[in-house]
């Protein structure tokens, strides 16, 4: 592991990959069934967020705004905007929950949303997520923690067969589903919080819903504290795991920084074997491990001669870099959206918090980029290969079903990267 730069010295971001806290919170609330995320701020934050996720998932996105205007910003302490919003939302739909999260505007003027929330006579979870702090991961994490603190009932008993998964924000819907399936295969009943696997997985429903159309049910969230085991995935989820344990101190907690590659998956399987008492996993899992072993060997030649730039949220960054490292891929530069304890663990020559301008400055060091669709222009301009990962991906369809985790997803991910690297070299040689 190489040099880590935790803080940028520039007075601005140029071609940012960083995303905001409220956007992360929105997504977390979309992983709760029948929820209406309510973003407290100007109408634009909500509009941008809605369009952003609609384009990424190719799905309608449920969200509303408290539509704070300049006059209201001066006169109101949040009471009017929030109470009116809840009233107006409930005129049209009946959400199971309203997920109230703030932006920079009400936080700057100091709205007491906790106080307002207490006055609202409707199921509501509130969370402070100013966009001048943190980023996508922390917003998702804070919303998840708020769901736990405000909804989960304390428990003193545990159900030995029950597991709670706390996935980080960059895990796509199918990845959450694959993880749930894997854990179930060890005889556990599994809940994920938040759970995008049944809401934003891109399924054709009976009709178009104005609320989140799937996800973990409110009742399930209330009863999470009787699980014997909690698995947090990604360092951004550690605080949520702690919050859950406070609801039941008898709960076992295992933390996994990410789930990409052979080692990380082996580590998870070892935990599940120990916790379940199983001697070995089911035949499907064993088979996929062999396929991943084979994939590592099949891909090592291409990846072993490839130098990478990886740009992502910290938890995903750690996962991608580990997966590439295992097959000999050389990550020369890993650019993170925000600072995180993960960065010290990232397997890369240089790790920095930065933007795509910083990535461009390091252009001579890499040939293939793994990053979001904003990297397309970069790849084009610098004649680099590109594998699109992370938020947003507006250029491709099927994002919710892209699986990079565990043995199975790990194999697919390596193949995609190895093929892209080979294609890039042929392309460069040819012209």
Partner 1 sequence: MSQKPKIKELLDESACAHNKTRKVACNAPTPGATTGGCAFEGAQISLFPYADAAHLVHGPITCLGSSWETRATRTSWPGRDLTQVGFTTDIGINDVVFSGEQKLAAAIDYIMDKYAPQAVFVYATCVTALIGDDFDQICRQATEKHGVPMVPVHAPGFVGSKNLGSRLGGEAVLRRLIGTCEPDFTTPFDINLIGEYNVTGDMWQYLPLLEELGIRVLSTLSGDGRVADIRCAHRAKLNVLVCAKSLVSLTRKMEKQYGIPSISLSFYGKRDTSKGLLAIAEALGNAELIERTKRLIAREETNLEQRLIPYRKVFAGKKAVLNTGGNKSWSVASALQDLGIEVVATAVGKSTEADREKAREYLGEQGVLMLKPGQEQAGIIDQRGAHLLLAGGRSLYTAIKKGIAFADVNQEKKKSYGGYAGLLNLANDLKNALENPVFKLVARRAPWEK
Six-digit token string for 251: 């709960």
Which of 378, 347, 343, 386 lies closest to 362, judged by CA? 378
CB of 276 or CB of 337, closer to partner 1: 337
Rounded Cα distance, 3 and 175, in Å: 30
Supply the minimum distance, in Å, between the C-beta of residue 58 and partner 1: 8
CB of 149 or CB of 360, closer to partner 1: 360
CB of 89 or CB of 318, closer to partner 1: 89
Which residues touch 347 (CB under 8 Å, ≥6 apart)? 1, 318, 321, 322, 324, 325, 331
CB of 69 or CB of 184, closer to partner 1: 69
Asked if 359 and 376 count as a contact pair (C-beta separation under 8 A), the reply is: no
Helix, strand or coil for residue 84? helix
CB of 265 or CB of 337, closer to partner 1: 337
DSSP, residue by residue, 320-353: HHHHHHHTT-EEEEEEESS--GGGGG--SSEEEE
Supply the minimum distance, in Å, between the C-beta of residue 99 and partner 1: 13
Supply the minimum distance, in Å, between the C-beta of residue 35 and partner 1: 14
Helix, strand or coil for residue 126? strand
Six-digit token string for 102: 């703030």
C-alpha 79: how far from chain center: 31
Supply the minimum distance, in Å, between the C-beta of residue 141 and partner 1: 16
Which residues touch 180 (CB under 8 Å, ≥6 apart)? 165, 190, 192, 197
Judged by the rule CB under 8 A, the positions of this chain that interact with partner 1 are: 10-16, 18-20, 22-23, 38, 41-52, 54, 58, 60, 64-70, 72-73, 80-82, 84-89, 91-92, 103-105, 108-109, 130-133, 135, 204, 207-208, 374, 377, 394
Supply the minimum distance, in Å, between the C-beta of residue 370 and partner 1: 18
Q: How many CA atoms lie within 13 A of 82 on its CB side?
A: 28
Rounded Cα distance, 324 and 260, in Å: 9
| First-residue to last-residue Cα distance in the chain | 35
CB of 103 or CB of 276, closer to partner 1: 103
Supply the minimum distance, in Å, between the C-beta of residue 168 and partner 1: 19
CB of 141 or CB of 410, closer to partner 1: 141
Supply the minimum distance, in Å, between the C-beta of residue 76 and partner 1: 10
CB atoms within 10 A of CB 24: 28
CB of 229 or CB of 317, closer to partner 1: 317
Asked if 161 and 189 count as a contact pair (C-beta separation under 8 A), the reply is: yes
Supply the minimum distance, in Å, between the C-beta of residue 12 and partner 1: 4
């Amino acid at each position: 592991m190489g040099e880590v730069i935790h803080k940028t010295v520039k007075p601005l971001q140029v071609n940012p990959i960083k995303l905001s806290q409220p956007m992360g919170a929105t997504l977390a609330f979309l992983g709760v069934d029948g929820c209406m995320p309510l973003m407290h701020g100007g109408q634009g934050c909500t509009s941008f967020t809605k369009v952003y996720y609609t384009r990424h998932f190719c799905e309608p996105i449920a969200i509303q705004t408290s539509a704070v205007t300049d006059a209201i910003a001066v006169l109101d302490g949040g009471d009017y905007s929030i109470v009116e919003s809840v009233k107006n939302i409930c005129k049209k739909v009946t959400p199971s929950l309203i997920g109230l999260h703030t932006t920079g505007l009400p936080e700057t003027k100091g709205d007491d949303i906790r106080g307002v929330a207490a006055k609202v006579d409707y199921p509501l979870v509130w969370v402070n997520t100013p966009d001048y702090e943190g980023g996508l991961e922390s917003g998702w994490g804070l919303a998840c923690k708020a769901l736990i603190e405000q909804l989960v009932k304390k428990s003193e008993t545990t159900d030995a067969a029950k597991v709670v998964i706390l996935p980080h924000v960059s895990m796509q819907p199918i990845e959450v589903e694959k993880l749930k399936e894997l854990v179930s295969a060890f005889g556990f009943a599994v809940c994920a919080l938040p759970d995008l696997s049944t809401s934003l997985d891109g399924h054709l429903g009976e009709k178009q819903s104005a609320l989140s159309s799937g996800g973990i049910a409110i009742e399930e969230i209330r009863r999470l504290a009787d699980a014997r085991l909690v698995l947090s995935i990604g360092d951004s989820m550690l605080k949520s795991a702690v919050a859950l344990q406070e609801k039941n101190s008898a709960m076992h907690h295992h933390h996994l920084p990410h789930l990409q590659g052979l080692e990380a998956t082996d580590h998870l399987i070892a935990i599940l074997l120990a916790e379940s008492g199983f001697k070995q996993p089911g035949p499907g899992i064993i088979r996929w491990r062999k396929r991943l072993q084979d994939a590592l060997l099949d891909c090592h030649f291409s990846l072993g001669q490839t130098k990478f730039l990886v740009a992502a949220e910290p938890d995903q960054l750690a996962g991608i870099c580990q997966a590439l490292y295992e097959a000999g891929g050389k990550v020369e530069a890993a650019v993170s959206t925000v600072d995180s304890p993960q960065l010290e663990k990232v397997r890369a020559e240089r790790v920095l918090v930065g933007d795509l301008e910083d990535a461009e400055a390091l252009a001579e060091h890499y040939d293939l980029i793994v990053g979001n669709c904003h990297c397309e222009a970069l790849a084009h301009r610098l004649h680099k290969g590109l594998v699109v990962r992370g938020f947003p991906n507006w250029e491709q369809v099927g994002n919710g079903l892209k699986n990079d985790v565990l043995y199975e997803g790990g194999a697919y991910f390596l193949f995609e990267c190895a093929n892209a690297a080979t294609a890039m070299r042929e392309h460069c040689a040819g012209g």
